[in-house]
Amino acid sequence: MPGPTAELAVIGGSGFTALHDDVETVELDTPWGPPSGPIQLADVDGRTVAFLPRHGPGHRFPPHRVPYRANLWALRELGVARVLGPCAAGSLHPDRHPGDLVVLDQAVDRTWGRPDTYFEGPTVNHVSLADPYCPELRSALLAGAADGPLPVHDGGTVVVIQGPRFATRAESRLHREQGATVINMTQMPEAALARELGLCYASAALVTDYDTGVDDDPGVAPVTQAEVFATFEANIPKLRQVLLGALAAVPATRSCACAAAPGGLEPDVPT
């Protein structure tokens, strides 16, 4: 008999471990190993939505160890075509405050050593990532955040660092001077892998801190892990409200170009 399926998915960030109370749990394996944890399926306004905590139960995967390939592959196996991947982020500008939501439109990848592609050979596919976030899903996130509980900013560049350590002051200053809006550790390779699979992907970054502080306010201390987790957890009910609104705003059919990105090529499956 065919197994369960889902139309949409949410990958939860730091401390965000459930989208809905009434769920069915599914455990999957993939050619890339198991995903971060069991996948929760819930009915949201008549559509089945899959939810997967990015860092797994108990936050057991640090950013550089998250099984990104398995996570996206497992969602696609369930039939998911569109993924929302909210995340925690540090602000690189004094006008993006903790508690603000930034609907990202660009990314800079500063990670290294992470398995970051499905096309390991012999199939070769150079997928375009000029615009890493799906415009339709970005519009849905903005609709879900409109008049909502969190101040929202339309557009912003996230610089994705390797982690798990936070940035030095010099690194933070360099990222800011190069035009980054927020800093995060998990948006890559997640967004790139979604594109390789032809999935729509978008993210809203919840600002949890000011990274290394604010240059013109020496009273603002550099970020700590406790601060990130506490701010994110305090805002999870508000973020959940935004996401439920965004899911309701996702159109029934896709009219973006995300599905065409792989060019009909199927990734090589490891043996």
pLDDT tens per residue, range 7-31: 999 999 777 878 887 889 999 999 9
**What's the pLDDT at 20?**
81
Quickly list H helices, 59-186: 68-77, 135-145, 169-177
Q: At what angle do helices 187-196 and 68-77 cross, to 10 degrees?
A: 40
Share of the chain above pLDDT 70, in %: 97
| Residue 203 lies inside a defined structural domain of this protein | yes
Residue 83 corresponds to which tokens in the numbers above?
Answer: 């993924």
Share of the chain above pLDDT 90, in %: 82
Mean local confidence (pLDDT), 47-68: 95
Averaged pLDDT score across all residues of the chain = 93
CA distance 176 to 183: 9
CA distance 35 to 206: 24
Going by pLDDT thresholds of 50, 70 and 90, the confidence category of residue 215 is low
The number of C-alpha atoms within 13 Å of 263 and in the hemisphere containing its C-beta is 7
Domain CATH code at residue 115: 3.40.50.1580
| Residue 265 lies inside a defined structural domain of this protein | no
**What's the pLDDT at 22?**
82
| Residue 250 lies inside a defined structural domain of this protein | yes
**What's the pLDDT at 52?**
96
| Residue 3 lies inside a defined structural domain of this protein | no
| Residue 170 lies inside a defined structural domain of this protein | yes
Mean local confidence (pLDDT), 28-49: 95
| Residue 87 lies inside a defined structural domain of this protein | yes
Q: Is it the case that residue 42 has pLDDT exceeding 50?
A: yes
Q: Is it the case that residue 1 has pLDDT exceeding 70?
A: no
Task: Look at the chain and report how many structural domains it folds into.
Answer: 1
Give the catalytic positions in this structure: 209, 211
